[in-house]
Chain A
Amino acid sequence: MSPDILSFIIFLPALVAFALMITTKDVNTIRNIAFLTTTVILALVLKIYIEFIPSDGMQFVTNVPWIETYGINYYVGLDGFSLTILMMIAILIPTSYLLLWEGRTKGYWLNMLLVQTGVTGTLLSLDIVLFYFFWEVMLLPVFLMIGSYGFGKKVFTTIKVTVYTMVGSLLMFVAILYLGVAYHNEFGVWSFAYNELMRITTIEYSTKVWLFLGFLAAFAIKIPIFPLHTWIMETYKNAPTGAVFLLSSIMAKLGVYAIVRFMIPIFPEIYIEFSAYFVAIGLFGLVYFGIAALMQDDIKRMFAYSSASHLSFIAAGIFSLNEYGINGALYLIIAHAIATGALFLLVGLIHEETDFKSIKDLGGIAKQAPILTFIFAIMLFANVGLPGTNGFVSELLIIFGIYEFNHTLGYISAITVIVGASYMLWMFQRAILQDRPEGSPTLIMRDLKIKEIIGLAPWVVLVFLMGIYPEIFIDKFEPTVTHYLNDILHIGASK
């Protein structure tokens, strides 16, 4: 298989989107072709997954000049990290299509396709300017989706989320340019490839801290890490289900991924030095967002906080400087994407069918829609980390990792998980299980349709498969993590 397969995966959705844009106006055709495209991509990604050799470094590399004057290359490739997340994206998107089947307009599906190009491109770029290119481009379709198909004060929300994320991105942009100039001054040629930028030695320590923070601004806003989270509440509440799904399940994870891909190799010593702060901030975020989630009445806002809480936990794992923590964080990225993705889609469905979105208005769904309740429960348990689910494995690994890093923080992290369990289960009890009080307006909820069950079935299987046999997944990315710890950070894999 030629290495161009990655470029094919990246650009196929965009090409299909443009072709559909000018050829047809029929929503059903567009939706079916879009779905077909994503399944083709899933097949290709599976093929890559099988052909991938864990012990090798970058694979399927394409590296051709893009802007030669400044040494910017079209440089894509994948290693253990990106493979795992690529797999996650490839599975999540087509199945989410089945649940978003109701998207009624042409623009909705075209934007979904364009987003896929954006996120895959972001994931696979190894040249940092190319990465920035996709990082910005992937936001634009979501911007259009929120503004066109959102609820409430959607225009204000759209502008707010765009400007907010743009602030981070542009700060990162300055840092990128500064790195490029520093490389040019040191080596006499231009290059923006991440493995070249790693070789820079001339930047002073204090400057490096600023550059590190510049990068962090972009990623921390996207993830979001406390205190840069203020955009998510409104956005998750007012955005259409598809956009919320994309933002929380996929783009937030890309923020974490980008920290691992670019920030750690380029600034290893700052990463090590600041790790204690970030673990602490991560844990604080976990508790803070958890308590905030506990107090929410709007179900989408509650999930927004819950999502932020988990992502803080992932961030804490990433900064824990050892194999357990980083493996666990990567594992939780996938586990959380599956569980939260499913929950957001189910909540979106409930909202669409019943028109209620606050927890106190809901209730009694369990009796009317048993299959939905069943799947909802599985995803909920995966989310809170019940043994046997993938959430358990990943949370356990992260807690181990943080314990290795610092015993006190380890104990704290173990306790904080309870917060997550409490708000989730309390919500489940009130919104789904509990019977409706006398005299409240009637609520009619249909059960899942066959195609929705088919769409969710692989996710359910994955939840348990990943919970019971984690090795088959961890084996694919563990060598990369070991390589990172040994060769880049020089702190040893089994500290």
Chain B
Amino acid sequence: MTQAKDLSDQSRRKFIGGSVGVAGAMLIGPGIFLHQVQAKPDNQAVTNKVRWGMLVDTNKCATGCDDCVGACAKENGWANETGPNEVNVQWIRKVDLKDKKTGREASLPVMCQHCEEPPCVDVCPTGASFKREDGIVLVDKHTCIGCRYCMMACPYKARSFVHSPVENHDDYMPRGMGVVESCTFCVHLVDKDKSPACVTSCKEKALLFGDLNNKNSEIAIRVANENSRQIRQDLKTDPGVRYQGI
């Protein structure tokens, strides 16, 4: 009987402790949960319950800083391009803006916008350009024939064609001459519960990555409560990357 009472007390304590813990976590540290990237386990297929997206706060993004570009190049193996600049691949670039009327300046990174309705996927003759269920737009390097129609179609100039032989690429990011490539949202990291390299490299914390479909995620809360816009919203491609301050 005493033993049974002890067990009952233990389970009550566990319940109360757990409840207090959950409540405390919800009250005290929402950031801990909200910043978490909720990737799928490796043995599960990607689902459309998730829509990966990025929020770029141009008020924080520093002019002249290109840490995100460097981090992307290093992570994805395009740092050692040796050709002329107009030929080299650029998965992400910093664009400086100046309002023609007011003179206000801003700086921001532009990369594949991971559109909901990606024109590159529509035009690709072989289906090499494709969108994952979770919204990440990729190129299948094995079926890309290098026709470059996707580059003609992309409104964001986000894609690059590899003009010269590639050496020493990483296993997780195969690259090759004669095919088209672009930002993958660092899909190899995202699938392991990590954020893209550009996001983690940003000292100004100007980039936020997360699941736009998860109402409790920080990115979803911020885009719901703060003003943000997509590049060329008029085209209705519905990019997953949103910008603040422009």
Q: Do A and B come from one complex?
A: no
Binding site for A on B (CB under 8 A): none
User: Which residues of A are at the interface with B, using a C-beta cutoff of 8 A?
Assistant: none
